Amino acid sequence: MFRKLPADLRPTEESPGLRVKGRTRYTRSQGDYLCGGCGAEDHANGDNDVKALVDDYTDHHGPAHRNGGRS
């Protein structure tokens, strides 16, 4: 059986990470992150801004902290 997902999937201090929601006919794409390594957080709306948010998170936060990247 599948576990029901929580209604609000935004990253929290207890569950840091990256959340991206694709656009629909009526809404723009959205993204949020909370870095578990340094506590940085950000939010973006729209395809280009969400792509930049994902690139920032990947290059400077989450995975970068685990791999010894920039912080």
Q: Residue 29: inside a domain, yes or no?
A: yes
pLDDT of residue 70: 52
Of 24, 22, 25, give the one whose Cα is nearest residue 9: 22
Number of helices (H), then strands (E), in the chain:
2, 3
Q: Write down the pTM of the prediction.
A: 0.76
Is residue 9 one of the residues assigned to a domain? no
C-beta of residue 20 within 8 angstroms of C-beta of residue 47: no
Q: Whole-angstrom Cα distance, residue 70 to residue 49? A: 21
- Asked if the structure places residue 7 within a domain, the reply is no
Quote the domain boundaries for residue 48: 17-66
**Which pairing describes strands 17-21 and 41-45: parallel, antiparallel, or unpaired?**
unpaired
**31, part of any domain:** yes
Q: Is residue 26 part of a domain?
A: yes
Domain count, the chain: 1
* pLDDT digit string, tens, across residues 28-59: 999 999 998 888 999 999 999 999 999 999 99
- 54 domain-assigned: yes
